[in-house]
Structure 1
Amino acid sequence: METESQVVSEVHHTMQIPQWKRDEIEEIKNLINKYKVFGIIAMRGIPAKQLQKMRKDLKNIAYIKMSRNSLIDRAFKELNLKINNYIQDQTALIFTNENPFKLYKLLEENKTPAPIKAGAIAPKDIVVESGPTSFPPGPIVGDLQSAGIPAGIESGKVVIRETKTVAKSGEVVSQKLADMLTRLEIYPMEIGLDIRALFENGVVLEPDILDLDKNKYRSDFTTAVQKAWNLSVNINYPTKYNITLFLQKAYTDARNLAVNATIYTSSVMPTLLEKAHSQGMSLARRLMEKDIRAVSGIYTSSFLPVLLSTAHSHCMSLASIVMEKDINSVDEDLIEKLGKVTIKEKIETETEIEIKEEETEKEKEEEAASGLSSLFG
C-alpha cells in the first residue's frame, strides 16, 4: 500500500502537470472507455506520407492517437491498467469497435515493402535469388561482390550466379549491402503499423494469438465437427443433426429382423416371397447338380418345370395364408394373381360337380330302363 508521503507526493506532482498534459491524459482515458478495443502500436520508421495514407484507409474502422509515452503511461495508471510494459520506443494508441482479429489482419494486409537502411536489423533472412539483372557490365559487378553477392557477367549481362542468404534474421545490415539490395529492388522491410498488443474486456491479445492461420483453423474446426458427429453416432446420442440416420438404421434393423424371423407384414412380404422363390430355384439347381439326368433330354422339358411349378405353388400358398390373416399385408398385384387362381380352381370344381351330376343322372335313367324291361318281360 502507498504511504502517506507517497500520496502527498503524487498529489503534488499532479498539481504541477500542465493543463494541456492533463487534457491529453483525460482524452486517452475517455477514448479507452469509449471503444470496445484499444491497442498499443509501434510507430518507428513510418514516413509521414505513409502514416497519413494509413489514417485515411482506416477511416470509419479505427482511430489512431499519437501521444507521448509518459502521458500514455499516466493514463494507464489512472485507469489501473497494468500493461505499461508494452509502452516502449515510439508508441501510439489505436481504438476500434471491430473484432480485434479482424483489425490485426487488416493492418497486416496494409503493410507495404520498403528498402532496408544501413545499420537496421534484418527482420527475416534476406535472400538474393540467382538469375540475370538489369545492369550492364561495369563496376556494379565489383560492388555486388564486395557486398557479399556472387555476381558475374554472362552473355553481356550482369547475373547473380547462385542463390545466397546475404543476411540472416537479427543480423545488422551493412551500408554496402543495404545499397545493393535497394539497387536490386529487394525490399526486406515492411512499412505498417505493428501491433504490440490489443485489449478487449480486460483480455490481452498479443500478435502470436492474433495471427490466426485461417486454413488450419478451418481444418481443425472441420475435424472437430467430424469427431463430434462420429462420437454421437457411436454412443447413440440423438440430436437434430443425426436423428435421420438413427431412424433409417432402426428401420433397416427392424426390417431385417422381420425378414429373418419370417414375420408377415406388408413391408416385408415382397422380400419373403422373393426369398421363397429364390430358395425354390436353389433347390431345383441342387437337384440338377445331384442328378445329371435332370438336364438330359429326358427331364429337361418335364422335371424342371414341375420343380418350378411346385416352388411357385408354395409361394402362392404362403401368400394366401398371409392374406387370410391380414389382407393389407399383400399388394394388389399378388391379390389379383391369387384371385385368378381361386377362380380357376372354382371353375374346375364346378365342372367336376356337373360331370358327376350328369353321371348320376345317367345311372338313374339306366336303372329305370332296366326296371321297365324286367316288368314287361
Structure 2
Amino acid sequence: MALYTHHLPRWKRDEVEEIKRGIQEHPVVGIVNMHGIPASQVQDIRRNLRGTARVKMSRNTLIERALNELGGSVADLKEHFEGQSALIFTNENPFRLFKLLEQTKTKMAAKPGEIAPEDIVVPKGPTTFKPGPIVGEFQQVGIPAVIEGGKVKIRETKTVVKKGEVINRKVAGVLSKLGIKPMDVGLALQAAYYRGSVFTPEMLAIDEEACAKKIAFAASQAFNLSVNAAIPTRLTIGAIIGRAVSEARNVGVEAGVYEKDIIDLIIGRARREMLAVALAAQARGFDLDEETLKAATAAAPAVSAAVPAAVAAPAAEEEETEEEKKEEDEESGLAGLGALFG
C-alpha cells in the first residue's frame, strides 16, 4: 500500500486508485475547472464527450494524492488546480481536447461578483423598454439612454465592464434585462499532460486556419528553394528536371542549335522576327504583299517584342534631305524586302 493512502478510509483509497488507473491508461490527462457549471449542463457535456473523453470528478485532495503517488512530470498538473477541479481522460491529442472542451461552452447571464472574461459592451440603438425606471438604471451604470418614439434608446455604444473587472449587482441586472450573456460556461481546461509535458491553454489555443496557411507557405518556400538550388528530393525532382529541360531548350534556341527537339522553336522564332521586321517596314511606308501583310497583322501582338531596336527606330531619324537619295533608299528597301519575303 502506498504511503499516501495508507491511512485513508477504504472509499478514498479506491478513489485514488481509480484516478491513477485513468491516468495510466490514457495518453492525455486534463485538469478542468467545474466551478459554476449547472448540473444539467455537466450531464450534457458528459453525454457529448461520450466515446471521446471521460470526465472524472473528485476532491482536489484525492486528485493531488493520486498525482503525487504516480510522481514524475504528471505530478506537475497539481500546480494548475483552480476552483472545483476534475480530471478528463482521453486518447485524443491535447490540441483536439482543448477544441472539444471549447465547444462545450455556452453563453450565460452574468452573476454579481463574477469576473468579466472580456470587455462587456452595450451597443447603441433602440430597446424594447417603455419609458420608466429602466432609464435611471441604465444611467446609473453609465449607459446613456433617452426616450425616443415611445421607447428607451441607448444613445451610444458603451463598455460597462472591462476584461478582468468584477461585475457588480447593478451591472449584472442591466445586462440580464438587455439579454446580454457575457459569461462562457463549460469545461475550462486548466492544463493537459501528454508524453511528459504539461500544456497550458495559451499553448493549445491556436488558430488552425492561420497555422495551416503558415505551413503551406513554408512548404512552398522550401519547394522553391529546393528547385532553385537544384537540391533533388522526392517531391522536387520532377520540377528540377523540367526546369533543366526548359533552360537547355532555351539555350539551344538562342544559340541556333539545330536539334530535332527544338528546330520547330528556332523556326518559330525566326518567323516571328521576320514578321516583326515586316511590320516595322510597313510602318515606314513600304508595301507588303497580301500574304505577308495578313500574317504580320495577325501576329502583331506576339511579334512586337521581336522588333530589333535599330529597325523599330522612328523613320524620321533616318529621313534624307535630298529627294533623289530618298528615292534610291526606297528602291533599295523594296528590293531587299522582295528577297526576304520571296
TM-score (norm 1): 0.71
The match for 2:148 is 154
Q: 2:252 aligns with which of 254, 258, 261?
A: 258
In structure 2, distance between residues paired with 1:171 and 1:51: 27
**TM-aligned CA deviation for residue 294 of structure 1:** 6.7
* Residue 164 of structure 1, aligned match among 145, 158, 165: 158
1:4 matched residue in structure 2: none
Structure 1 segment 1-377 matched on structure 2, within 5 A: 11=3, 14-80=5-71, 81-83=74-76, 84-272=78-266, 292-293=327-328, 295-296=330-331, 304-306=337-339, 308-309=341-342
Q: Distance in 1 between matches of 2:159 and 2:68?
A: 46
- The secondary structure found in structure 2 opposite 1:247 is helix
Q: 1:49 to 1:266 in 2, by over 3 A?
A: same
Gaps spanning 5+ residues in structure 2: where? 287-317, 319-324
Give the Cα–Cα distance (whole angstroms) in 2 for the partners of residues 278 and 169 of structure 1: 70
Counterpart amino acid of residue 85 in structure 1: E
Instruction: Give the aligned residue type for 1:74.
Output: R
Residue 33 of structure 1 deviates from its aligned partner by: 0.9
SS at match of 2:131: coil
Q: 1:190 to 1:153 in 2, by over 3 A?
A: same
Moved more, 270-279 or 114-123: 270-279
Give a deviation string over 1:120-172, Cα, whole Å, max 9, x none: 22221111111111111111111221232222211100111111111111212
Q: Is the 8 A contact 2:82 2:190 kept in 1?
A: no
Cα deviation digits, residues 3-31 of structure 1 (max 9, x gap) = xxxxxxx94x7432101100000000011
- Give me the whole-angstrom Cα distance separating, in 1, the residues matched to 2:31 and 2:124: 40
Conserved 8 A contact 1:25-1:72: yes
The answer on whether the counterparts of 1:69 and 1:88 sit within 8 Å (CA) in structure 2 is no
Q: Secondary structure at the match of 2:232?
A: coil
Structure 1 pair 251–18 and aligned structure 2 pair: CA distance change class (3 A): same
Q: 1-side partners of 2:267 and 2:53: how far apart?
A: 75
CA distance in 1, matches of 2:82, 2:253: 79
Q: Which amino acid is the alignment partner of residue 26 of structure 2?
A: Y
Cα distance in 1 between the residues matched to 2:12 and 2:203: 34
CA contact (8 A) 1:294 1:304 kept: no
The one-letter amino acid of 1:267's match is D
RMSD: 2.9
Q: 1:79 to 1:271 in 2, by over 3 A?
A: closer
What code does the residue aligned with 2:75 have? K
Q: Which moved more, 1:158-167 or 1:273-282?
A: 273-282
Letter of the 2:262 counterpart:
V
- Give 1 or 2 for the bigger CA radius of gyration: 1
C-alpha distance in 2, partners of 1:299/1:28?
A: 100
Over 3 Å counting, the alpha-carbon distance change for 1:128 and 1:293 in structure 2 is same
**Percentage identity across aligned positions?**
45
Secondary structure of the structure 1 residue equivalent to 2:6: helix
State how far apart, in whole Å, the 1-side matches of 2:261 and 2:164 are: 76
The answer to whether the 8 A contact 1:111-1:193 is kept is: yes
Aligned residue pairs, count: 296
User: Aligned pair in 2 of structure 1 residues 211, 307: CA closer, same or farther (>3 Å)?
Assistant: closer
- Per the TM alignment, residue 293 of structure 1 is displaced from its structure 2 partner at its CA by 4.1
Distance 2:157 2:270 in 1: 79
Q: Which range moved further: 193-202 or 82-91?
A: 82-91
| 8 Å contact from structure 2 (residues 23, 89) kept in 1 | yes
The amino acid of 1:207's aligned partner reads P
Q: Conserved in 2, the CA contact under 8 Å of 1:73 and 1:87? A: no
For structure 1, the residue ranges without an aligned partner over 5 or more in a row are 1-9, 310-377
Compute the TM-score of the two structures, normalised by the length of structure 2.
Answer: 0.78
**Equivalent pair of 1:28/1:72 in contact (CA under 8 Å):** yes
Going from structure 1 to structure 2, the CA distance change for 1:262 and 1:159 (only over 3 Å counts) comes to: closer
How far did 1:226 drift? 1.7
SS, match of residue 86 in structure 2: strand
Q: Distance in 2 between matches of 1:180 and 1:72?
A: 40
